[in-house]
Structure 1
Amino acid sequence: MPLSAYLPSRRDLSYFFFSQQFSDGLRTTLAILLPALLGAQWGQFAAGITISTGAVCLSVTDTPGPFRHRRNGQLAALGLVFGVAWLTALLAPHREWLGLEITALSFGLTMLLVWGARAGSVGSATLLGMVLTLAHPPEGWQASLAHAGLLALGGGWYLLLALVQVRVQPYRAAQQALGESLRALADFLRLKAIFYDDRTDLDDDYRRLVAQQVTVNEKQEAVRDVIFRTRQIVSESTSTSRRLVLTFTESVDLYEHITAGYYDYAALRVAFGPTGILGDIRALLSRLATDLDYLGAAIVANRPYGTPPPDRTPELTRLQARIAALPPPEAASGIGSLVLKKILVNLRDLSRRIASIRRYFDEEQAANANSAAGPDRAAVHRQFVAAQELEWRAFGQNLTLESSVFRHAVRMAVACTGAYWLAALLWHGQHNYWILMTVTIMLKPGFSLTRQRNTERIMGTLVGGLLGAALLWLVPNGDARFVLLLVFMVIAYSFQRTKYLVTVIFLTAYLLIMFSFLGLGYLGVIEERVTDTLLGCAIALATGYLLFPRWEGEQLPDLLAATLRANQAYLRQLADRLAGREVPLTTYRLLRKDVYVASANLAAAFQRMLSEPRRTRRQPTEVHRFVVLNHILSSNISSLTTSLEEEEGPAPVVPPEGRRALTSAQAALGKSLARLAAPAEADRYPAALTTAELRADALTATVSPDRSLTEQLAFLQKVSSDLGKVTEALVA
């Protein structure tokens, strides 16, 4: 394979340099580096370093989302960092009292997770401020107050930079999130194309597709969070705000049409593999994915294509001619040539929808958009994001071992206490606070993530230590080292939320370069950092494994039930349509969103379970089968729904066998839910639409029954029945 295959493409570089991660990395680097440089210039280097430390703490809370939430989180962290740093500095001379403080704060600050991930990041930032205060604790209450004040000044400096960036570019975060979402969707479409390659294993194809579905859902949720919670976007009628909302809505519709394109791929490969037509379909799907990928890069960069976008109409016409020229498949294959025509229709629809998304750069589209008025539109969009309110009673309600947050807080308290006393009594390195800092960063609520982070931390520290040592040996020039320091800082802080291994490698390397400027021997620093990292990781891993561990297998019954519940409601809206009842567009989109979110949560938990100890896994083969069947079921419901939406006139007549199949499918999902859920929750599940309800409206139509509809409903019945069998095996 040529070297160019391993190098990032121009499009990859465009995504990176215009991404929110890179802009965050630049901002964090500036916020950390400038105070230290100015302090050194003015003879106040220690004060400059403390201010930079405050900026480091605040950067932990600056996770993606609407700026109002980011600002509130940073303000809360600012106050907590100040208070905890002052208290820590005052108690530093008193070992026993300091140990009690570490135990209490590590528990209490971790419990902030009951109010969500952002509140949890506030707790993490405060813990980091506490640990970094222990690096060089000031003596006396006045020095302690000055130290805490400088930390708060650094946090305020970081907040000011973030505020200026938002004021200058109010729509930038939304554009970056939307572009990243389109890129994830393009990768999903590429994986769908692989199903037409008869050289691949279908089980592996489904495994990769479901994993990418998790990524797509995460990216789309990030866009919803930024767009629908930002008042300036959903309430104002500016051109940019309308285009953002319209384009995201169309991208979600595109995702539905991609997932709805399900076919019996095994039968397709048998019937049409020798003809070569599947290769043509795959190639066209891949090119459509590339078109979508380029569009995402253009939105991230906030500039249109440099060249006219490709027109896929001639390729679609050639594919149509090839399909028409094919001889009918053998009857033994169990599939007819009609399926290729359906695939062609789906490809045309995908091409049309991608072209529609391309109109993001068309100002006239926003001007002529028939969207609702500002306040009404905002009210509609707020339904698509979960409410985030601070309910104070939630803290007390989670003070039980039944709460995963409480168990994690107990683990954090025990691990931090152990790390503190180990560093205080047994290990007297110059930077032994690194042990405690490693524990606070490495210990996560789930064991799978804890183990993954620990592995990446150890590997990254070793590789980063070797990289830093090699550069210090090879590059004696101070100016060149400073340039490398800048580059490594930007890389480290750009990847801290996406590729932790990369962050640790370059963070370790830049710390070694920084210590070389302070006159410390880098070999001693490497030895101590590796030792402290190993000790901290060992404590975090042992605590996560031994003390109230939360295994993903224990969460699966709830996730399985949530997925079935979402698909049952999704199937019910299809039954309503077939019965002639109107389903409001907003209601349908909310049901569709619930299916995507529930399916992604289940798939993500399944992936995490596979990285846990083998003894803790709960029937991975059956769970994988359930995940695949769930994907097939929701895809076919989407396919039927979209076809009904696009048809004009009355609802089609459902033949008796089709009505029985639909009723049986709903009943099968209801039985599966009854196996998984507690009896007290039975009333929450919607009842199946009866055969009589379906017949009452459908038989009034004058259209003849649709036999292809009957076949599709029978397939839904089969998949629902198979889900029931898998659920029965899981419960057993």
Structure 2
Amino acid sequence: MNLKDPLNSANVNVTEVRHFFYTQAFADGIRITFAILLPALLGSYLGYFDVGLTVALGAMVVSLTDSPGPIIHKRNGLMAAAAATFLVAVLTGLVHANPYLLGAEITLVTFFFSMFVVYGARATSVGNTGILVMILTMDRKMELENVLPHALLILAGAVFYLLFSLALYRLRPYRNGQRALGDCIREIASYLSIKADFYNTSSNLEENYNRMVAQQIVVNEKQDLVRELFFKTRQIVQESTNHGRKLVFTFVETVDLFEDITAAYYDYRSLRNLFGNSGALDIIHESLKKIVVEINAVGVAIQSNASFRKGFDYDEEVKRIKTEIDAITVDGRDSKLVLRKIVVNIRNLLTDLSNIEQYFETGIKRKRSGVDHSHFISHQSLDPKIFWNNLNFESSGFRHAIRVCLASMIGYLITQIFHYGAHSYWILLTIAFMLKPAFSLTKERNIQRIVGTVGGGIIGVALLLLVENKTALFVLMVLCMIGTYSFMRINYLVMVMFTTPYVLILFAFLGTAFKQVAGERLLDTVIGCAIAFPMSYWLFPAWESQQLKINMRGIVKANALYLQKIIQALLGEKISVLEYKVARREVYLNSANLSAAFQRMLSEPKSKQGPRSQMHQFVVLNHILFSNIATIATALLAKEPRVHSAELIQVAKKTYAKLEESFKKFGDEEELPKLRDLPLTEATVSADDELMKEQLNFIYSVSKDIDKITASVV
């Protein structure tokens, strides 16, 4: 069999493109494009093109808030955005003729709406809507009596988009959930593909660790999105329908699959030393890659609402690898116990996969999961006190709002001093949407904005020079619109490369010289980026190295509490499934937060990064730690509770104590829960216990390394 990574091959790249058309991102692109075009085309057909264009503007700006999530959040976000666009449109219309009043409005609006970042991502998008409608209407000349009608037309567009989006949801209430679940499963397949590469003796272990940590961030984001969608959507969370129960059941099995993938961890360097020349690792690698293809196919089928057929017989696959591994001769002591354990892990993965595939079976009467969903979702408070409590320089949201406000004022002054074009508001547009709370994100956006504008500008000008047919140009513009709104939340660079031709073709239809517009857009983008970038560096910067210790502390605590469940199981206590899953989720969440913060830190100036190599080692060691804890947890929870040997319990307690030491080094007054000091009794030691002893000693060694790094960093 060809061992080439199926998720990175050219064939799969073609498959990825094909299945992009089934994603939520593409569905969003189609929906937003239609909602913007319909009012404009209808207005043009009826002879009221300006009216249609204004209504389309309202639909376009509120679409920024229509991100994936529970329907109640989407509805509330769209309603808040509609109100914000109306109020800001009225205010801008009243003051636009007076440059001083307009400057004051820019100051207030950019600061106020940028502070929405303290309420989370959806509230931030609502704030961006308010800023955007101000920027897009500030250069529009209108008489005082036209201000309210103009604002009402924008509101009409916003309300139209709100009703249109909600109507589409009502038609297919489970479709968003299917897409999100399928996407999550496919990312888990990518994670397993990386894990499989550890068994490829020609791969670089360090690179594999980096890829695995980065992919874990993606998987965690996808899982959180599915949780939000499922557990905050009434039809699904109540599991009142078979479809809702089917989605919840499949997601629960998907999370268990991810844990079993995570738990399938071993000391890969040691494995290569023991079995590198035996061919055993090649057998495992090949089998895992087959499972990767299968999981990916399941994700695609759910995502595209299609049927699924197994690619191979799972029981026969387990028998095959067991037979082949049993036939392998290993020099020295009998070390095949580890290999047999890996075979058991593979069998567990295939069992999880079979459970997930029940999604496609009909005639199954599913019971409610009985899961207390409230423990697995977060709630964002919208209390006004949060806004007021963040009005100080200790708040990163406040510092961000100050940066956006001052940078926007500088951009506005430049447009007032140098009258070089008709669309100088693009400078403000660039500034407002380039500046992010973290320097690393601002830097990344600036680079992508300039590269995307140049590339998109070349494409746009080429299209306008080569294509003269108006119908063909309109089709190309629509395709660029779909590309813009499809990639809006998943790839900023690609979005900008679609946006620039879309804007150039639109202005060409409006009768503006497109070459002049292209040059002006590039210049405004460069000026905006030139203002935004230094502001993010010099003005109250938020460096990730300063925040990283909070994330480091969080993962040490989460790992300790996760280990506590293992100690309870070793003592013979029956572990609550709910408590265990909550502890597991906290580990995944804190690990993803730490990894994401570290990745952002790497794009910051080296002088601001802190001990880079040590922090990287800390990230990897904690991933190794919880992977090994998950390995032991999977083995313990699969069997009836029993008291294990005192030696195993003592090693686990030593590891907990070491994590407790690391936690205290962060200087917080909070203390970890104390372990119960029960009398230890002798217990029968099985072959599995011998392997568990090795794993516990290994995680104790890892915990000591974590403590050393913590001491040096803190």
TM-score interval for Structure 1 and Structure 2 normalised by the shorter chain: over 0.9
Aligned with residue 711 of structure 1, among 677, 694, 698: 694
Shift of 1:10: 5.7
1:429 partner SS: coil
**Between 423-432 and 249-258, the greater mean CA deviation after superposition:** 423-432
CA offset at residue 44 of structure 1?
Answer: 1.3
Write the letter of the residue equivalent to 1:664.
Answer: K
Amino acid at match of 2:644: V
Taking the TM superposition and a 5 Å limit, the aligned residue runs for 1:181-220 are 181-220=184-223
**Structure 1 counterpart of 2:257:** 254
Q: Is the 8 A contact 2:246 2:366 kept in 1?
A: no
Q: CA deviation at 1:427?
A: 4.0
In structure 1, C-alpha distance between the alignment counterparts of 2:522 and 2:98, rounded to whole Å: 28
Whether contact under 8 Å (2:477, 2:505) holds in the other structure is: yes
Q: Which residue of 1 aligns with 2:139?
A: 135
1:658 to 634, 642, 648: 648
SS of residue paired to 1:369: coil
1:346 Cα shift?
0.7
Q: How does 1:398-417 map to 2 (within 5 A)?
A: 398-417=390-409
1:724 aligns with 2:707: yes
Alignment of 1:102-113 (within 5 A): 102-113=106-117
Aligned to 1:675: 665
Post-superposition Cα deviations, 1:117-159, rounded to whole Å, max 9, x if no partner, equal 111111001100110012324221x211111111111111111
Partner of 1:232: 235
Q: 2:608 aligns with which of 607, 612, 616?
A: 616
| 624-633 or 703-712, which deviates more | 703-712
Change (3 A) 1:337 1:5: closer
Query: How far, CA to CA, are the matches of 1:447 and 1:576 in structure 2?
Result: 43
Give, in angstroms, the shift of residue 182 of structure 1.
0.3
**Could you tell me whether the CA contact under 8 Å between 1:653 and 1:704 is conserved in 2?**
no
Matches within 5 A, 1:168-317: 168-305=171-308, 307-317=309-319
Quote the Cα distance in structure 1 between the aligned partners of 2:650 and 2:558.
Answer: 21
Query: Aligned partners of 2:423, 2:478: CA distance in 1, in Å?
Result: 23
- What secondary structure, in the 3-state scheme, does the structure 2 residue paired with 1:395 have? helix
Contact in 2 for aligned 1:654/1:709 (Cα 8 Å): no
Which deviates more, 9-18 or 707-716?
A: 9-18
How far 1:276 moved relative to its partner? 2.3
| CA drift at 1:236 | 3.6
| Residue pair 2:602, 2:609 contacting (<8 A) in 1 also | yes
Alpha-carbon distance between aligned partners in 2 of 1:134 and 1:704, rounded to the nearest angstrom = 76
Change (3 A) 1:446 1:477: same
CA 1:237/1:10 → structure 2, altered by over 3 Å: closer, same or farther? farther
Would you say the 8 A contact 2:294–2:310 is kept in 1? Answer: no
Aligned to 1:342: 341
User: Which residue of the partner structure matches residue 371 of structure 1?
Assistant: 369
Gaps of 5+ in 1: none
Distance in 1 separating the partners of 2:148 and 2:244: 45
Tell me, in whole angstroms, the C-alpha distance in 1 between the residues paired with 2:119 and 2:368. 37
User: Is the Cα contact below 8 Å between 1:663 and 1:689 reproduced in 2?
Assistant: no
Q: Structure 1 length normalisation: TM-score?
A: 0.94
User: What is the RMSD computed on CA atoms of the aligned residues?
Assistant: 1.7
1:559-598 to 2 correspondence within 5 Å? 559-598=551-590
Match of 2:416 in 1: 424
The change in CA–CA distance for 1:430 and 1:370 in structure 2 (over 3 A counts) is closer
For residue 9 of structure 1, report the CA deviation from its aligned partner. 4.7
Contact 1:54 1:150 in 2 (8 A): yes
The reply to whether residue 120 of structure 1 matches residue 124 of structure 2 is: yes
Q: Is the 8 A contact 1:572 1:689 kept in 2?
A: no
Letter in 2 for 1:345: V
1:73 corresponds to which of 62, 71, 77: 77
| Contact 2:245/2:366 (8 A) holds in 1 | no
The answer to whether 1:64 aligns with 2:68 is yes
Asked if residue 530 in structure 1 is aligned to residue 522 in structure 2, the reply is yes
In 2, the alpha carbon distance for the partners of 1:671 and 1:480 equals 68
Query: Distance in 1 between the 2:654 and 2:275 partners?
Result: 33
1:160 matched residue in structure 2? 163
Whole-Å separation in 2 of the counterparts to 1:127 and 1:480: 34
For the Cα contact (< 8 Å) 1:451–1:541, is it kept in 2?
yes
Using the alignment, how far apart are the partners of 2:656 and 2:349 within structure 1? 30
Task: Give, as a single letter, the amino acid of the residue that structure 2 aligns with 1:99.
Answer: G
Deviates more, 1:315-324 or 1:193-202: 315-324
Q: CA deviation at 1:702?
A: 6.4
C-alpha contact (below 8 Å) 1:234/1:241 kept by paired residues? yes
User: How many Å separate the matches in 2 of 1:499 and 1:73?
Assistant: 22
Q: String of CA shifts for 1:218-237, please: whole Å, max 9, x gaps.
A: 00000000000111111142
Report how many residues are paired: 707
Separation of aligned partners in 2, 1:702 and 1:368: 40
Displacement of 1:426 in angstroms is: 2.0
Distance 2:359 2:239 in 1: 17
Are the aligned partners of 1:654 and 1:710 in contact in 2 as well (CA < 8 Å)? Answer: no
**TM-score normalized with structure 2 length:** 0.96
SS at match of 2:173: coil
- Counterpart Cα distance in 2 of 1:383 and 1:616: 37
Inter-partner Cα distance in structure 2 for 1:402 and 1:595: 28
* 1:80 Cα offset (Å): 1.1
Q: What SS class does the counterpart of residue 573 from structure 2 fall into?
A: coil
Q: 1:36 is matched with which residue: 35, 40, 49? A: 40
Q: What residue identity is the alignment partner of 1:336?
A: S
The answer (yes or no) to whether the contact 2:567–2:649 under 8 Å persists in 1 is no
SS state at 2:276 partner: helix
The amino acid of 1:609's aligned partner reads: M
- The answer as to whether partners of 2:59 and 2:157 remain within 8 angstroms in 1 is yes
CA distance in 2, matches of 1:7, 1:472: 33
Structure-2 separation of matches of 1:13 and 1:615: 40
Residue 647 of structure 1, CA deviation: 1.5
Identity of aligned residues (%): 43
- The whole-number CA distance in structure 2 between the counterparts of 1:29 and 1:354 is 37
Query: 632-641 or 710-719: which moved more?
Result: 710-719
Pair 1:686 & 2:673 matched: yes
Contact persistence 2:295–2:353 (CA under 8 A): yes
Q: 1-side partners of 2:12 and 2:49: how far apart?
A: 39
2:257 is aligned with what amino acid? L
SS of residue matched to 1:681: coil
Give secondary structure in 2 for the equivalent of 1:402.
coil
Alpha-carbon distance in structure 1 between the residues aligned to 2:30 and 2:421 = 32
Alignment pair present for 1:353 and 2:352: yes
**Residue 509 (structure 2) aligns with:** 517
Return the offset for 1:315: 3.0
- 1:343-378 CA-to-partner distances (Å, cap 9, x unmatched) read 11111111111111111112334x143633xxxx5x
Q: Paired residue for 2:327?
A: 325
Structure 1 CA distance for aligned equivalents of residues 366 and 133 of structure 2: 51
1:88 matched to 2:92? The reply is yes
Alpha-carbon distance, 1:710 to partner:
2.4
